[in-house]
Amino acid sequence: MKIKNVMWALALGIFSTACENDDNGGNEPMATGDYVDGILLTNEGPFNNGTGTVTFISNDLETQEDAIFNAVNSEDLGNIVQSIGFVENSAYIIANVSNKITVVNRFTFEKEAEITTGLNNPRYFTSANGKGYVTNWGDAADETDDYVAIIDLQTNTVEGSIPVVLGPEEIAAKDNTVYVAHQGAFGQNNQISVIDSGTNEVSGTITVGDVPNSMQFDAEGDLWVLAGGKPSFTGEETGGSISKIDTDTNEVTTTLDFGATEHPNHLSTSGGNFYYTLGGAIYVLSPSATVLPTASEIEDLNVYGMTTHEGRLYVTDAKDFASNGSLSIFDLSSKAEVKTFEVGIIPAGVYFN
């Protein structure tokens, strides 16, 4: 997603945008270019028309440049800019409605390639074992055609696909194993697919809470999955949950349940703790906790996307979904707002260069 469509997102009552932390697979790129040492922010752009964009903000928060891809390449990214994935010096920018992945140098934003075949409603990207993996909804009206596209990173072409169950969304990799959270596209699901990148086959599925919307690895390498629960408009509302998956056995070892009408989102990590959003507030959870926190860290926010990074909290606000949104940055220690930027239309994912 980041926006499935505006009406569905509003009806859901939580936004299935997910801000992403940059994962370079342990490879530290050689950083040269105009967009080194800063924040990359995806702006989805207006739904079904126009284009999404990427905003750059320097780490010292003194410099902002909007629509940097167009500024460098004199062309647009397409509609809707869903997410960005990284492999060493390259960034893979997914335009969901346009069924396109634009490959750029992450530090100069010069275009390197474009992938336009083998994609159908692409969502999120990760890499493992020398390949790229992209979740695809397929035809949103068909619950049987969902898949993960396999990207040849040398030629930047789709070399194959892996059929999966309904609604693949967030995707993450540990070593040669790829984990796919099945939020359910326009429906709901409660599965995590486990893909062996050596065989490019689904080796198993893990049942978690309803509508898993975000995933993070902890310091031990185990996978935590935040599920939002089924929204009230389904007539079968369920509360959210957070589950810990032992990545050695791929079994759920811990589950903490929210209230029946509580729908958390945007799981992130900082300083060894987990952060998530619930009802316009930010909560922090220790990996060793046996109960969910009752007191929030920061309140009264309009949250479309959220992530944490090096002691700071980043919150995007989509405003009215038609005009420019904002990015607000907070200090996690003092909980004070550091700065707010006006950015593009429907700001969503936050990444770090």
Q: How high is the pLDDT of residue 140?
A: 84
Q: What angle do CA 289, 24, 28 make, to 5 degrees?
A: 120
Q: How high is the pLDDT of residue 47?
A: 87
Could you write out the three-class secondary structure of 102-132?
EEEECCCCCEEEEECCCCCCEEEEEEECCEE
**The CATH number of domain 6-352, selected from 3.55.50.30, 2.130.10.10, 1.10.1040.10, 3.30.470.20:** 2.130.10.10
CA dist., res. 316 & res. 55, Å (int) = 12
Query: Residue 306: what residue type?
Result: M
Sign of the C-alpha dihedral, residues 256, 217, 280, 338? positive
Strands 312-317 and 265-270: unpaired
Q: How high is the pLDDT of residue 8?
A: 36
**Structural contact between residues 196 and 184, judged by C-beta atoms closer than 8 angstroms:** no
CA dist., res. 88 & res. 300, Å (int) = 38
Helix (H, G, I), strand (E, B) or coil at 6: helix
**Along the 353 residues of the chain, how does pLDDT read in single tens digits?**
343 333 333 333 333 333 444 443 445 546 789 999 999 999 999 987 899 999 999 999 999 999 999 999 999 999 999 999 999 999 999 999 999 999 999 999 999 999 999 999 999 999 999 999 999 999 988 999 999 999 999 999 999 999 999 999 999 999 999 999 999 988 999 999 999 999 999 999 999 999 999 999 999 999 999 999 999 999 999 999 999 999 999 999 999 999 999 999 999 999 999 999 999 999 999 999 999 999 999 999 999 999 999 999 999 999 999 999 999 999 999 999 999 999 999 999 999 99
Q: Domain boundaries in the chain?
A: 6-352
